[in-house]
Amino acid sequence: MRSRTLLVSAVLAVVGSSTGFAQSAAPATPAPTVAKAEVIGNAGKPIGAVTATGTERVTIVRLMLAPGAVQPGWHGIHFHAVADCSDPEKFAASKAHVNHGGKAHGLLNPNGPDEGDLANVFAAADGSVNAEVTSPTGLVGPKGLLDADGFALVIHASPDDHTSQPIGGAGARVGCAAFKAS
């Protein structure tokens, strides 16, 4: 009889503490923001699509480029400051990297990274890309990517060495996706 009483007490204690935990430590999970954009190549035509899914604390980029979109091999990709891909020869209108903190470029740079830095993606032998990379740069919020002038995801011709300035030797801009603020 005594052991049964102890068991009941223990079960009640567990139920009580788990209920308390749920009330005090588990905030409502905000729905992530999902934004989609077409990727334009240097010929001014669509070469793929990119989805950015995120919150104030993270952005997940899923990039899908069609066969023939880019040269096979590794390519640097970055968040650039402005949602403007209107000059496909150079994509200069997308401006420099998102970089509120004035950090040096490069995930491996001791004075970096800047907010536009991302992992490289690999294009298969047919020039297609299917990749998902993440960033601690928020998609929304006060310093989020989707600010008044939006942002662009830019694909470079060469891989990013993640260290050297200004863009890790990533070379020309060969793709651009404009994410306008809604």
Q: Which of residues 9-48 bind Cu ion (CB under 5 A)?
A: none
Structural tokens at position 120? 């490289």
Of the candidates 103, 80, 46, 76, the residue with the CA atom closest to the CA atom of residue 159: 76
Min CB(117)–Cu ion separation in Å: 9
- 95 vs 180, which CB is nearer to Cu ion? 95
User: Which x/- pattern, by CB under 5 A, does the window 147-176 give for Cu ion?
Assistant: -------x----------------------
- 33 vs 79, which CB is nearer to Cu ion? 79
**Cβ atoms of 128 and 67 closer than 8 Å:** yes
Cβ neighbours, 10 Å, residue 90: 11
| CB within 8 Å of 65: residues ≥ 6 apart | 39, 47, 48, 123, 127, 128, 129, 130, 155, 175
- 12 vs 172, which CB is nearer to Cu ion? 172
User: Contact between 78 and Cu ion (CB under 5 A)?
Assistant: yes
- 69 vs 154, which CB is nearer to Cu ion? 154
User: Contact between 121 and Cu ion (CB under 5 A)?
Assistant: no
In the complex, the residues that contact Cu ion under the rule CB under 5 A are: 78, 154
